[in-house]
Amino acid sequence: SLMCYVSVGSPAEPIKDFMVQRNMEVLEEYEPGASPDATKIFINGTWVGVHSQPAHLVTLVQELRRRCIISHEVSLVRDIRDREFKIFSDAGRVMRPLFVVNTPDNETGAEEGTLALTKEHCRRLEDDAKYSRKKDDEDYFGWDGL
């Protein structure tokens, strides 16, 4: 609870547009008989569409968030049992830190089950603060470097 903060929110429309570009079938055009096993997509609690390949879509959106293309405040929840993918970008949600754990298909060669955050990352962040580095500096690492 000491590390939590409250989200300020980000627009949901770009996320919806991105999903449509990634073959999300918009709810108005969805025909349940054509794809009964499709996963429902919710944005801020509103059912906006369905997708037939949710695993690929979730992985893609997670990568975009990790690269800061999508705000770090956007929450992603995949419920496999209920076939739902929920995306929250609204303001007023209590947030907490998220630690990424390496998986077997990790390209970095890191051991499975270990934290992606390393002591080297922490050292570089401390150096940024210690030497008052700015984003323009050549040696700047920053949170985006994670």
- Look up the CATH number of domain 5-92: 3.90.1070.20
Cβ contact 74:65 at 8 Å = yes
Pairing of strands 94-95, 5-6: antiparallel
Closest CA to 15 of 82, 67, 89, 81: 89
**Residue in this structure with the two tokens 């980000």, named with its chain if needed:** 10
What's the whole-model pTM score? 0.77
Q: What is the pLDDT along the chain (146 residues), one digit of tens a residue?
A: 678 889 999 999 999 999 999 999 999 998 888 888 999 999 999 999 999 999 999 999 999 998 889 998 999 999 999 999 999 999 999 998 878 888 876 566 778 888 888 898 888 888 877 777 777 777 778 766 66
Specify the domain boundaries for CATH 3.90.1070.20 within the chain: 5-92
